[in-house]
């Protein structure tokens, strides 16, 4: 592939990438807000104090010799009970440092994954934090020390069998000196099958994990698309034995999504299987070159990671597909060769 063709391919990918990224962000049910509520007992941006939260401040830090610092209803310091004293003899000595603590810029993410699963948060394609979801599959994960600006955050989880979910990616604008909260994250189920090839007319087991007691919708693509609904158990595990009699002898694909209390996840990654004349057990799949998030496909998610590292110094080995120490058009051409969509 010559340089001009590579460039045209990459430009096309970039246009598709940004339109898809917008569509991805629109499909994710998240809300982001900067909270500063006086009276909730939490010291937030723009407040000197809130109830009993003073951020380490005292009468002494405010230039007094002692006394009791209190908090007014407006979340400002009340120094009426502070006491003053004459400066110490011997002169000299400037005033103390004021005790001001710069507000922290951070982001908090809330959502649903799988019971007791590891949830990983990526910031601009790099791991930023991890946490463990609760028994109810709910999780909260935070990252601090940020600078104000726009970031691409992604989140994924692994189920009890070590199967990884698809990567959920969304842009977030972070405000300097404030905490940005992102809620409503619903990680798609994991999914796998027990056979790479199934004899036509036999069952193929489709299974994975999601939120406990949620409704799982399983899609199988053929000339027509088949939908089946089952309920996950108390551990979030689901299993459906699909009768392949209606399917032609060919390659087919399956995916799943979950719903609970009116909230619906996106679809999981897509798993392929063949309908043929014999049964072949599923083996661990080798990851394709260019499959940076290890979901068995090379698509826009992987492209977004490589695009982030385009011409940046010291890219990770995963984004440097030809191992020359840089991410450039050559790496995009390699990704185009392995592209699955």
Among residues 271, 274, 226, the alpha carbon closest in space to that of 250 is found at 274
Span 274-298, average pLDDT = 77
Q: Do both 200 and 240 map to the same domain? A: yes
Q: Does 92 score more than 50 pLDDT?
A: no
Span 184-213, average pLDDT = 96
Query: In this predicted structure, what is the pLDDT of residue 199?
Result: 96
Q: Which domain holds residue 238?
A: 192-281
Q: Do both 262 and 196 map to the same domain? A: yes
Query: How far is 198 from 225, CA to CA, in rounded Å?
Result: 18
Query: In this predicted structure, what is the pLDDT of residue 4?
Result: 44
- Alpha-carbon torsion, ordered 107, 111, 116, 118, to 10 deg: -50
Q: Is 132 left (phi over 0), alpha (psi -120 to 50) or beta?
A: beta
Query: In this predicted structure, what is the pLDDT of residue 26?
Result: 43
CATH code of residue 130: 2.60.40.3330
Task: Compute CA distances 34 → 48, 172, 177, whole Å.
Answer: 17, 12, 10
Compute the C-alpha angle 141/142/147, nearest 5°.
150
Q: Does 7 score more than 70 pLDDT?
A: no
Among residues 102, 29, 23, 95, the alpha carbon closest in space to that of 61 is found at 95
Choose the final residue of a domain: 241, 265, 281: 281
Query: How far is 161 from 239, CA to CA, in rounded Å?
Result: 14
Residue 208 maps to a domain: yes
Q: Does 34 score more than 70 pLDDT?
A: no
Q: Do both 233 and 309 map to the same domain? A: no
Query: In this predicted structure, what is the pLDDT of residue 295?
Result: 67
Residue 59 maps to a domain: yes
Query: In this predicted structure, what is the pLDDT of residue 68?
Result: 87
Residue with tokens 């405010």: 62
Residue 33 maps to a domain: no
Q: How many CB atoms lie within 10 A of CB 80?
A: 10
The token pair at 110 is 């809330």
Contact 175, 222 (CB under 8 A): no
The token pair at 304 is 């977004």
Residues facing residue 181 across a β-bridge: 33, 108
Residue 93 maps to a domain: no
Q: Does 171 score more than 80 pLDDT?
A: yes
Mean pLDDT, rounded, of the chain: 81
Query: How far is 323 from 315, CA to CA, in rounded Å?
Result: 10
Choose the final residue of a domain: 186, 221, 238: 186
Residue 64 maps to a domain: yes
Q: Does 204 score more than 90 pLDDT?
A: yes
CATH code of residue 204: 2.60.40.1930
**For the chain, what is the domain count?**
4
Compute the C-alpha angle 326/329/331, nearest 5°.
60
Contact 159, 89 (CB under 8 A): no
- Secondary structure, 3-state, 37-95: CCCCCCCCCCCCCECCECCCCCCHHHCCCEECCEECCCCCEECCCEECCCCCCCCCCCC
CATH code of residue 9: 1.10.1330.10
pLDDT digits (tens, 9 = 90+) for 223-274: 789 999 999 999 999 999 999 999 999 999 999 999 999 999 999 999 999 9
Contact 327, 320 (CB under 8 A): yes
Among residues 109, 153, 168, 169, the alpha carbon closest in space to that of 133 is found at 109
Residues facing residue 169 across a β-bridge: 154
DSSP secondary structure letters along 90-153: T-------TT--PPPPEEEEEEE--TT-EEEEEETTEEEEEEE--TTSEEEEEEESPPSEEEEE
Give pTM, 2 decimals. 0.60
Q: Does 339 score more than 90 pLDDT?
A: no
pLDDT digits (tens, 9 = 90+) for 109-163: 999 999 999 999 999 878 899 999 999 999 999 998 898 899 999 999 999 888 8
Query: How far is 51 from 44, CA to CA, in rounded Å?
Result: 12
Residue 38 maps to a domain: no
Residues facing residue 4 across a β-bridge: none
């Amino acid at each position: 592939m010559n340089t001009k063709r590579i460039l045209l391919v990459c430009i096309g990918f970039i246009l598709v990438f940004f339109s898809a990224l917008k569509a991805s962000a629109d499909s994710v049910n998240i809300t982001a807000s900067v909270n500063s509520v006086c009276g909730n007992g939490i010291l937030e941006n723009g407040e000197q104090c809130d109830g009993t939260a003073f951020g380490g401040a005292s009468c002494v830090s405010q230039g007094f010799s002692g006394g009791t610092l209190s908090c007014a209803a407006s979340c400002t310091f009340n120094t009426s009970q502070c006491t003053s004293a004459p400066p110490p003899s011997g002169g000299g000595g400037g005033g103390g440092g004021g005790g001001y603590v710069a507000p922290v810029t951070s982001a908090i993410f809330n959502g649903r994954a799988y019971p007791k699963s590891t949830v990983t948060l990526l910031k601009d394609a790099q791991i930023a934090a991890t946490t463990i979801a609760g028994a109810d599959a709910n999780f909260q994960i935070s990252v601090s020390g940020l600078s104000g600006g726009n970031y691409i955050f992604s989140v994924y989880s692994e189920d009890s069998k070590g199967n990884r979910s698809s990567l959920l990616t969304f842009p977030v604008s972070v405000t300097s000196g404030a905490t940005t909260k992102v809620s409503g994250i619903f990680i798609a189920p994991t999914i796998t099958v027990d056979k790479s090839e199934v004899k036509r007319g036999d069952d193929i087991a489709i299974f994975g994990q999601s939120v406990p007691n949620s409704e799982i919708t399983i899609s199988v693509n053929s000339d027509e698309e088949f939908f089946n609904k089952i309920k996950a158990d108390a551990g979030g595990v689901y299993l459906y034995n699909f009768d392949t009699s209606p399917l032609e002898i060919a390659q087919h694909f399956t995916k799943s999504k979950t719903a609970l209390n009116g909230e619906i996840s996106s679809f999981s990654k897509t798993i392929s299987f063949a309908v043929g004349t014999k049964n072949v057990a599923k083996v661990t799949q080798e990851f394709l070159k260019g499959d940076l998030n290890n979901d068995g496909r090379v698509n826009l998610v992987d492209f977004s990671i490589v695009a982030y590292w385009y011409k940046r110094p010291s890219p990770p080995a995963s984004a440097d597909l030809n191992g020359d120490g840089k991410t450039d058009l050559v790496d995009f051409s390699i990704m185009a060769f392995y592209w699955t969509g």
